[in-house]
Each structure stands twice: as C-alpha cells, then as structure tokens.
C-alpha cells in the first residue's frame, strides 16, 4: 500500500496488519514494514531457541564436524587454515547468540562479512603475503581517534 493510504485510512491499515505484515511504499524513502509486536516477539523467541539449540549441538561435536557443517553454508571457509576455521566456528556461535538475544542480526551479518573478507585474503597469495609479513618501513604517526571512535581503540 502507499503512504498516502496509511495517512488517509489508518484503521484499515491496522486491520490489514492484524492479518499479516503490511509494506508501505514511500516515494521519498525506503519502504516501511508494519507488523504486530506479538509477531515480532514470537519470531524473536523462535530465533533465540534455534540459536541455543545450534550452540548446544555444536558444543557436543568435534570442531572439525562443526566446521564441515558450516562449510556447506559458507564454502569460502575452505580457503582458510584449520585454526582460523575453528576460530570462525566459535565466533559464529557467539555472534548468532548475541544477535538472537538482542534481536539485532546485524551483529552476525558484520561478523560474517569480516570472515568472508578474511577468506578473500587467503584466496589471493600475493595479498596474503603482503598482509602477513612484517612492516619494514615507518608508516608515520597514528592519527588520534575522532570523536565517537574513542571506544574503538
């Protein structure tokens, strides 16, 4: 439905939201998704239960087995050494649990982007050699953190 319809007849939009999610299209911004709070709460509970079960399952299998299972979803794990894959498994479980508990899946998405970038480095032997070797030159002073970045240090 269009934004103007929401403004003109909010009660009918609320009735539609009772039946299911409603996408509101806007010309001047990203579409909005209206959904009932109880649906979101139920989804969150399901996500938390799933992640806890996954964590428990992965805790009871050898790291190699967990890595093999996750490699089916993330084939780029095959580019990395086994110790990095083991670290990925641990971080995946932690990030998935945090994401589920907070309802902020961006935590898991960011972790996956970082590891995928790491795999891309392993895929390029020249880049891996450059990034893994010692620095032989002084790259100059490190700039002071910008306001808001102080916590990142």
Q: Examine the domain organization and report whether 50 and 118 are in the same domain.
A: yes
The pLDDT value recorded for residue 84 is 95
Q: Examine the domain organization and report whether 44 and 118 are in the same domain.
A: yes
Quickly state the pLDDT bin for 110 (edges 50, 70, 90).
very high
Q: Examine the domain organization and report whether 80 and 118 are in the same domain.
A: yes
Q: What are phi and psi of 24, to 5 degrees?
A: -110, 120
The pLDDT value recorded for residue 148 is 62
Q: Examine the domain organization and report whether 47 and 119 are in the same domain.
A: yes
Cα separation, 112 vs 117, in Å, equals 9
**Domain assignment of residue 112, yes or no:** yes
The DSSP code sequence of 85-146 is HHHHHHHHHHHHHHHHHHT-THHHHHHHHHHHHHHHHHH-HHHHHHHHSPP-S---PPPPPP
Q: Two tokens at 130?
A: 């450059």
Q: Examine the domain organization and report whether 17 and 48 are in the same domain.
A: no
* Domains identified in the chain, total number: 2
Identity of the highest mean pLDDT range in 1-15, 20-34, 78-92: 78-92
**Domain assignment of residue 141, yes or no:** no
Q: Examine the domain organization and report whether 48 and 25 are in the same domain.
A: no
124-153 per-position pLDDT tens digit: 999 998 888 887 888 889 899 887 655 554
Cα separation, 10 vs 4, in Å, equals 10
The pLDDT value recorded for residue 112 is 97
Percent of the chain with pLDDT over 70: 96
Report the 10 Å Cβ neighbour count for 16.
15
Q: Examine the domain organization and report whether 97 and 26 are in the same domain.
A: no
Q: Examine the domain organization and report whether 54 and 126 are in the same domain.
A: yes
Cα separation, 89 vs 96, in Å, equals 11
CB 59 within 8 A of CB 71: no
Residue 117 sits in which domain range? Answer: 40-130
Identity of the highest mean pLDDT range in 32-41, 91-100, 142-151: 91-100
The pLDDT value recorded for residue 152 is 52
**Domain assignment of residue 153, yes or no:** no
| pTM exceeds 0.85, yes or no | no
Q: Examine the domain organization and report whether 126 and 54 are in the same domain.
A: yes
For the chain, how many helices (H) and strands (E)? 7, 2
Say which DSSP state 78 is in.
G
Question: What is the arithmetic mean of pLDDT over 26-46?
Answer: 83
The pLDDT value recorded for residue 87 is 95
């Amino acid at each position: 439905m269009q934004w103007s319809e929401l403004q003109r007849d909010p009660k009918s939009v609320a009735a539609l939201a009772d039946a299911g999610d409603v996408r509101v299209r806007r010309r001047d911004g990203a579409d909005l998704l209206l959904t009932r709070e109880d649906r979101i709460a139920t989804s969150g509970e399901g996500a938390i239960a799933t992640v806890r079960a996954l964590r428990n399952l992965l805790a009871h299998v050898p790291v190699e087995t967990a890595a093999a299972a996750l490699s089916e979803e993330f084939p780029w794990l095959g580019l990395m050494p086994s110790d990095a894959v083991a670290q990925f498994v641990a971080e995946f479980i932690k990030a998935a649990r945090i994401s589920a508990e907070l309802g902020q899946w961006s935590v898991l998405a960011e972790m996956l982007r970082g590891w995928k970038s790491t795999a891309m480095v392993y895929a390029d032997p020249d880049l891996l050699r450059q990034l893994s070797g010692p620095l032989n030159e002084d790259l100059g002073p490190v700039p002071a953190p910008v306001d808001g970045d102080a916590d990142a240090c």
